Amino acid sequence: MKIKIVVISVSILFAVPLIAIAWNSYQLINTYRNIPAEQLKPDQVISIGNALHRDTEDVLRYLSLPVFRQASGLLGIDVIEIKPEILFAAKHYPELAGFDRPKRYMISFQNSAEARGTGGILGAYAIIEVNRGKLEVIKASSNVGLQHLTTLPIKHSDEYFELYGNNPGIWQNANLSPHFPYGAMNYLELWRLQTGERLDGFIATDPIALSYFLKAIRTVTLPDGFQITSENVVEETLKTAYKRYEDDNMARKEFLVTIMKSTFSQLLSKNFSIRKMPHALSESIQENRLLLYTSNKSTQKENEITRLGGSLNKKNDNDYRVVIQNTDASKLDYYLDREVDIETLTCSPNPTTQVTIYLKNRVVNAQDLPAYVLTRADKGKPKELVTGQHRFKVFIYGPYKSQLIGGSLGSGKDGNARIGAERERPIFIEDIDLAPDGSEVIVAQFKGGTGQITVTTQPLVRPEIVKIKDNC
């Protein structure tokens, strides 16, 4: 206890210059906020951003000191973990927050019970407007009414269409790629074609991220008195709602929209803990549950270097990722366990690495699940279809410019393996059919990759367990 008191006391002493820097930034923002937008020149907007960037760098320099790291640890906050994202946000805050003109963004609330490359399908969405830092919700809706197209006039690469087919015009399939900018561009174009409106950017999040933010918001009370908390929001939105509204899917969708609207209301009224909000942001960003795309090309180029950008980066590293694609239109990814084991088999100059994926369908009593959850809308269903059987594709990505040298199903079954590539990263692909309580193992081997092994996790419901054994 005494140690904690000493740490906090010393932190307060060191915090004096930090507070001074923060106050300077606050005054700077307010000064320019009072200048009419029509009088604000583009170079002034850039100047504000550069000044905020410098001030933020100074703040983070202080926060990186051991005494601050310890103190922030006591509070459950470590902003240094998201330093690149914070610096990007500071530099481009005037632009993104609409200092020069009001900016409009679409927010997708991804339903990760039906997996897609960036997390899950668009279950609900909101159109927000930001004008000089003030946020307004223009529209909040379920995915009902979003019009599907057979094709989109977007010039994706040949490899994109080889991997995902020519169907990004279907809203549920717009984000098949784990490269978030692809999905964001698809969504924005779909919205433009449907409404004629060109939006300034796209944001994606999910119920798990919402659970983190609810730790700061505490409780969201719906109009009927039902309370949504950090403890129940994931289960209520991705599991229980399907049972509660089994006979009225439209009511279920409206329930989700009501949660979204009520959460926004709490945020806009500033009814939340400022102390806990940075932790929610940090968790969401680190788990790839908060993603941003901006239509400004130069800003987006900088954004893609950060985790906010959700990029399938082209860089010489040793990064792997496993992506689940739901192919039966069910909501069974709520019950899917994933473990990724990575082990180096041979070392430099051209190391060989083995990736082993363990998959488990946690459904036990399938007869208790609603029909909507158990949907099988896929083509080529198995002759003997077991209730609760889940079909999906598994994409195993190797590092940039590495080589896929082999892959197989650990069970010894005849799979439907194929290979592909995306953004110069090789992919081993398998179709999987898992019966209730069923399991499967997939093994793939890659040659290449430099540096420390990392895994970029696809943000689904159940946490992805990662084990790395680097023998080099």
> pLDDT by residue (tens digit) across 35-47?
676 667 777 777 7
Residue 305, domain member (yes or no) = no
pLDDT score for 31 = 63
In which band, very low, low, confident or very high, does the pLDDT at 415 lie, cut at 50, 70 and 90?
low
Are 70 and 118 members of one domain?
A: no
Region 48-76 average pLDDT: 68
Region 70-93 average pLDDT: 75
C-alpha distances out from residue 375 to 324, 387, 432, 443, Å? 17, 10, 16, 28
Count CB atoms within 10 A of the CB of residue 107.
19
Are 81 and 111 members of one domain?
A: no
Are 375 and 409 members of one domain?
A: yes
Domain residue limits at 191: 103-286
pLDDT score for 99 = 86
Are 389 and 317 members of one domain?
A: yes
Q: Which of 267, 286, 305 is the last residue of a domain?
A: 286
Q: Lowest-confidence range among 52-61, 134-143, 163-172, 201-210?
A: 52-61
In which band, very low, low, confident or very high, does the pLDDT at 318 lie, cut at 50, 70 and 90?
very high
Calculated CA dihedral for residues 268, 272, 274, 276, nearest 10 degrees: -130
Are 426 and 393 members of one domain?
A: yes
Q: Which of 64, 96, 128 is the last residue of a domain?
A: 96
**Does the pLDDT value for residue 5 go beyond 50?**
no
Give the whole-angstrom CA distance, residue 441 versus residue 42. 55
Are 170 and 250 members of one domain?
A: yes
Per-residue exposure over 216-240, b if at least 16 CB sit within 10 Å of its own CB, e if not: bbeebeeeeeeebebeebbebbbbe
The secondary structure of residue 81, as a DSSP letter, is: G
pLDDT score for 194 = 92
**Does the pLDDT value for residue 73 go beyond 70?**
no
Number of domains in the chain: 3
Are 80 and 118 members of one domain?
A: no
Are 39 and 135 members of one domain?
A: no
Count CB atoms within 10 A of the CB of residue 252.
20
Residue 192, domain member (yes or no) = yes
Are 237 and 152 members of one domain?
A: yes
Residue 59, CB half-sphere, CA atoms under 13 Å: how many?
21
Residue 217 contacts residue 267 (beta carbons within 8 Å):
yes
Residue 362, domain member (yes or no) = yes
Residue 435, domain member (yes or no) = yes
Q: Lowest-confidence range among 72-76, 228-232, 255-259, 402-406?
A: 72-76
Give the whole-angstrom CA distance, residue 147 versus residue 170. 8
Residue 307, domain member (yes or no) = no
Are 203 and 262 members of one domain?
A: yes
Q: Which of 56, 75, 96 is the last residue of a domain?
A: 96
Is pLDDT larger for residue 272 or for residue 251? 251
**Does the pLDDT value for residue 13 go beyond 50?**
no
Are 88 and 192 members of one domain?
A: no
**Does the pLDDT value for residue 3 go beyond 90?**
no
Give the whole-angstrom CA distance, residue 354 versus residue 248. 46
Is pLDDT larger for residue 247 or for residue 57? 247
Residue 212, domain member (yes or no) = yes
Are 170 and 222 members of one domain?
A: yes
CA angle 349-355-463, nearest 5°?
A: 130
Domain at 277, CATH number: 3.40.630
Within 8 A by CB and 6+ apart from 23, the residues are: none
Residue 321, domain member (yes or no) = yes
Give the whole-angstrom CA distance, residue 280 versus residue 376. 36
